[in-house]
Amino acid sequence: MLLIPAIDLKDGHCVRLKQGDMDQSTTFGEDPAFMARRWVNKGARRLHLVDLNGAFAGHPKNEIAIRKILKEVGSEIDVQLGGGIRDLDTIERYLDAGLRYVIIGTAAVRNPGFLQDACTAFGGHIIVGLDARDGKVATDGWSKVTRHDVVDLAKKYEDFGVESIIYTDIGRDGMLSGINIESTVRLAQALSIPVIASGGLSNMADIEALCVVEDQGVEGVICGRAIYSGDLDFSAAQERADELNG
């Protein structure tokens, strides 16, 4: 089970939001590269970056901070990034800078042709982020809920050749209310590509519950507010996951 610390970037700072609301942000650090180093030193094997301003603007807004992170740790571990990625040139620029995976969210829903082109041009580097409320996909920084079913879209993207799916229950994100295990497993069972859980991770019990379903196709989990608030000790959690699943 891969535990992936999240570094959410807003105006160049490390923050956490509640349910994707930019007006409900808590700043956890002024130096994103320092934060990235902190998680690597604690045993992280991958980092999850989100350009929050970019997600709302539709184009990169925190690229300077992202490049500093990649310069600091990009040669040591895999780094994945989502938020405001809407064209092939942006993907190529980030991959050239040392990014391992690009996460496409809103653009995948609005422009499936772009996603297909991205998978063709950058095979092995494209992850789709599917954010949902009550099983329906949300876009535009979670501000719009569509009629698209999560499982149906994920199957379509699997056919395109995406590397994996990050599934976020936006009703739980940033709320420390526990991972939606049932919905995550349902999605993973419908696919042959890995699913990464996200939204609501709160404590060690969540980690242990995810380890139980890892063989269903749940590859990892995004760790957000819980590891910043101290509700979950990241190093201990990764050690426990390794102990349970090897």
Which residues are part of the catalytic machinery?
A: 8, 131
Q: How far apart are CA 43 and CA 20, in angstroms?
A: 27
Express the helix, strand and coil content of the chain in percent, nearest 5 each. Answer: 40, 30, 30
Structure tokens at 187: 């999605």
Amino acid at the residue 35: M
Helix (H) or strand (E) holding 126: strand 126-133
Rg (CA), the chain: 16
Q: How far apart are CA 206 and CA 139, in angstroms?
A: 26
Beta carbons of 49 and 82 less than 8 angstroms apart: yes
Q: How far apart are CA 241 and CA 227, in angstroms?
A: 15
